[in-house]
Every structure is written in C-alpha cells, then in structure tokens.
Amino acid sequence: MESINIFKGYGKVNPDQLEDQTQTSNPKSPKPQKPLFSILTISALICLTLVIGLLLAALIHVSNSESPSLSSSNSAESAIKTICNVTRYPNSCFTSISSLNTSPKPDPETIFKLSLEISVAELSNISSLLNTMNSDPATRDCVDQLEDALSRLNDSVSAMGQKALTVAKLNDIQTWISSAVTDQETCLDGLEEMGSTAVDKVKSKMKRSMEYTSNSLAIVANFKAILDKFHIPLH
C-alpha cells in the first residue's frame, strides 16, 4: 500500500506547481533597450541644426552691414558714414554733413550735394577774409584763385541740381572739383613763394576748406561704386 501511495504522489500533478515550473523554465524575455547610437544621432542632428541657424544669422548680419539700408532707424548716420569712408578725411566729412542733414533717409545724391554746399560755404568765408586783409600781389593772386575755385564748385552744385545723373556729368563734376582743389593749392604756393606775411594765417584758415573740397572730390570719384552699395542705378 505504501508503494501505491508513493506512485500516486507522482502520478497526480498539482496545477499550481505546473504553472510555477512553466514560468521557471520559460522566463519572460526582457524588453530590448533603445540603442545608444540612436540617441547620439538625434543629439548630433540637433547640434547641426543649431550650427546652421547661427551661420545663417551671421551671413544675414554681414549682408546687412555691407548693404546700407535706407529704412533702418539709424539710416542717416549709416548712410553718411558709408559715403564718408571713401574720403581721406572721414571724420570732418561725417561731422560737417551730419550737422546740415535734415533728412531721416538721405540718399547718396543728397549727401554729395551737402558736401558740395559745405565746400562752397567754407571757401566763400576764406575768400571774404582775404579780401579784408592788407592786399599784396600774392594775396590778390590768391583771391583770384579762390574765386575760380568757387566758380568750379558752384558749377558742380548746379549740375547736381539737374535731374539726369549720367557718367558724363559725374566726369565733368570730378574735373571741376579737381580744379578747385588745384586752385587752393596754387593759392598757398603763391603766398609761400612771395614770402607773404599772411601765409600762415591763410594756411590755417584754408585747412578745413581744403579738407571739405577733397572730401567732395573723393565722393564723386567713387560715386558709381557708392550707388551700387545702395542698389541705386544711374539715371
């Protein structure tokens, strides 16, 4: 009877035991983890996007800096500085033109006209001063030279007042302003050669007028390139 009971114990399987054995023999497989390289790829793409965005922003900034905009809040200052940078005396150019400019969006033609007007005004003051000084042959010759220079500059102002702006007109204006510069230099040379007592005083007074005329000459000599910077054609 004992042997029968022993075999009976092996013959009947407890369902709970069977389930435990099945679970033990067939454990559930763990869920696969997300590969590390996928995370690195996403991070790299994000970094690349940021770099491209920064490069585009830098390119836009450079483009805006090289091409002055007449619609920006500081357009007047920017435009005047851009044009005065072609001169030998950018500081006197910027200061003198800014003091007379009343337009919030001055174009190159307006700025050049102001430069010419400043040259005429300063040279007129020098000419008037010489006329009040004790006249000697050298001083009288100097006055004649300055009067000729004023005539050339006034011709330039009149030409800029005309509607058409052509290469031929710019060449004429450049020739006239160049003559005005030469006239002022000849005036001083004559005073020095003749040993005039007024040479130091006249030279000191003419410093600004010569700078202003030089600025006008530089602007007209580079006017086509200046217009290109502002995307304005000759007309």
Q: Is 209 in contact with 118 (CB distance < 8 Å)?
A: no
Terminal CA-CA length for the chain: 127
**210 belongs to a structural domain:** yes
- For residue 53, what are the CA distances in angstroms to 47, 48, 49, 56, 221? 10, 9, 6, 5, 40
Q: What is the pLDDT of residues 28-42, one digit of tens each?
A: 555 555 565 566 677
**121 belongs to a structural domain:** yes
Q: Per-residue confidence at 168, pLDDT binned at 50, 70, 90? A: very high
User: Which is nearest to 80 in space by CA: 98, 62, 67?
Assistant: 98
Q: Which pair of structure tokens corresponds to residue 21?
A: 């054995």
Q: What is the mean pLDDT of residues 94-106?
A: 92
The parent domain of residue 106 ranges over 76-230
d(CA 235, CA 162): 11
d(CA 11, CA 133): 142
Q: What is the DSSP string of 46-90?
A: HHHHHHHHHHHHHHHHHHHHHS--TTSTTHHHHHHHHHHTTSS-H
Q: Is 88 in contact with 218 (CB distance < 8 Å)?
A: yes
- For residue 131, what are the CA distances in angstroms to 67, 88, 208? 46, 30, 19
**66 belongs to a structural domain:** no
Where does residue 188 rank: exposed (0-12), middle (13-18), buried (19+ CB within 10 A)? middle
Please give the residue that has the higher pLDDT: either 198 or 91. Answer: 91
Residue 149's pLDDT is: 97
* CATH code of residue 139: 1.20.140.40
**97 belongs to a structural domain:** yes
User: Which is nearest to 203 in space by CA: 195, 214, 192, 194?
Assistant: 192
Q: Is 142 in contact with 191 (CB distance < 8 Å)?
A: yes
Please give the residue that has the higher pLDDT: either 60 or 93. Answer: 93
Give the count of domains, the chain. Answer: 1
Identity of residue 147? E
Residue 31's pLDDT is: 53
**141 belongs to a structural domain:** yes
Residue 182's pLDDT is: 96
**193 belongs to a structural domain:** yes
Q: What is the mean pLDDT of residues 90-112?
A: 93
Residue 221's pLDDT is: 97
Identity of residue 116? L
**53 belongs to a structural domain:** no
* pTM for this entry: 0.69
Q: Which pair of structure tokens corresponds to residue 226?
A: 């200046």
Q: Which helix (H) or strand (E) is 180 found in, with range?
A: helix 167-193
d(CA 89, CA 207): 11
Q: What is the pLDDT of residues 8-57, one digit of tens each?
A: 443 444 545 444 544 444 555 555 555 655 666 776 677 777 778 677 66
